Amino acid sequence: MKNSFKLAAAAVALSAAFSSTVHAAGFQLTEQSAGALGRAYAGVGVDGTDLSGVYFNPATMVLHPGTQMQAGFVGIGLNLEYAGDNGTKENGREASQAIPHGFITHQINESTWVGLAMTVPFGMGTEYDSNWEHADHGISATILTFDFNPNVAWKATEKLSFGAGVSLQYAQADLKKRNNFGVVNGQIISAESEIDADSWAWGFNLGMMWSPTENFRVGVSYRSKIKHDAEGDFTLKNAKWGNASITGGNLIDMAGSLDNGSLAQQKLMLLGMALNTQSFDGYATVTAPAWAMANVAWDVNELLSLYGTFRWTDWSSFDELDITTNVTGVGGQVVNKWKDTYMGSVGADLRLTNWWTLRGGIAYETSPIDKPEYRTAIIPDARRWWFAVGSSFKFDDNLVMDLAFAHLHGVGERSLYDNGEKIGKFRKLDAYLIGAQLQYKF
């Protein structure tokens, strides 16, 4: 049988918003640089201290002469502490996960550069116990994108440069929940459903950098949305009667309740499918939202540099999440009604010696959740503060290592609702990020 699984205007992917955890608003990941992480991504790209501008603003490649490469990761840990109004507790943390990134730049001549960015721009991973109280809202969700992004930069004048690129993006989504089919003899009849789908799609990015003076730089950049038409499998499994697994024997017992109308014939058929773990063809439409960014960098003197960033993300396109299938009775719709998000950050680099740089930054990011009634257990987003520190260690003229740590702290409204009724609250929505990377100049 064929199925369709639609994540209407959703970004595939760890921030929402925390990855392995959603840790940027929605499930946008801002983990493409360990160096920039140390200042909460303030001035990323126009700072010129690492190669992550290939992704954030390709025009900034002109700041990197010759041939250079960079590779690293940002590790993520979550603490999504939930307390139900009825006294139950749960935590959506998942095992810590490392988000990799890599960049290469090459100067062709005095005015032209090419580069490649390999990143994970969107993603999330939340997981609860399969028997938790609200498993019908979601048990687990893993959404990831892997982006391969070749770019070119042109230095039009000594003060003005432009960049552009094409993104070839792979998306994979796996979502699991428990479907309640009714009650027999006081016990809920349910089965677990899971959809796993993936696809390739493409988009584009643009950037510009203006340097009015030798020590001051301004950049603006834009990345398009990317729509994925994914294909995969839809599976029904783990049928249960209350907390007990359904067997062929008690499935027959339930059939005796049909005359009383307590369980529809069609739902009994679905339980039979789940009893035998049946899979069907599945399809997904997943869209990673567009975003735009503005950055500034000011090298105050040989000791100090100051940075700032402002970013907009088009999360209002994530209107709903539909899971549908032509297996009647399975599926549903999660209405998100999300709004666009904004992130602002400021940071500084302090060059203490010719081999050691200390940095720090702070950021504030809004939540895409317009009303608490639209918060879901698999994406329990909220407004957040970023607090970040980091260091660079220059071993010689060619090799630099960057280390960073950031704490993302969710604030404001964090309640969870069911059919308009408040059922609990996420007491903590925190993420902990550790980054490391190496840069090498040939």
Domains of the chain: residue spans and CATH = 3-441 (2.40.160.60)
Q: What was the pLDDT predicted at 285? A: 74
- 5: tokens are 């699984």
Contact 347, 362 (CB under 8 A): yes
Residue 375: pLDDT band with limits 50, 70, 90: low
Residue 312: pLDDT band with limits 50, 70, 90: very high
pTM of the shown model: 0.80
Highest-confidence range of 23-27, 89-93, 349-353, by mean pLDDT? 349-353
Residue 329 has pLDDT above 60, yes or no: no
Residue 350 has pLDDT above 80, yes or no: yes
Contact 271, 239 (CB under 8 A): yes
Contact 338, 369 (CB under 8 A): yes
**Dihedral over Cα of 253, 259, 264, 266: its sign:** positive
Q: Average pLDDT for residues 128-136, to the nearest whole number? A: 63
Residue 53 has pLDDT above 80, yes or no: yes
The residue ranking higher by pLDDT, 138 or 221, is 221
Q: What was the pLDDT predicted at 11? A: 27
Residue 397 has pLDDT above 80, yes or no: yes
- 112: tokens are 């032209």
Q: Average pLDDT for residues 339-358, to the nearest whole number? A: 96
Contact 21, 431 (CB under 8 A): yes
Q: What was the pLDDT predicted at 234? A: 80
Which of 96, 152, 94, 123 minimizes the C-alpha distance to 23? 123
- The vertex-173 CA angle with 168 and 177, nearest 5°, equals 170
The residue ranking higher by pLDDT, 248 or 438, is 438
Q: What was the pLDDT predicted at 3? A: 37
What are the angstrom distances between the C-alpha of 28 and each of 20, 136, 194?
12, 25, 23
Residue 355: pLDDT band with limits 50, 70, 90: very high
At residue 172, what is the residue type? Q
Residue 43: pLDDT band with limits 50, 70, 90: very high
Instruction: Quickly list DSSP for 51-76.
Output: TTHHHH-GGGGGGS-SEEEEEEEEEE
Q: What was the pLDDT predicted at 333? A: 54
Q: What was the pLDDT predicted at 21? A: 38
Q: 62-76, 132-146, 359-373 — which is least confidently predicted?
A: 132-146
Contact 275, 246 (CB under 8 A): yes
The residue ranking higher by pLDDT, 134 or 199, is 199
Q: What was the pLDDT predicted at 4? A: 34
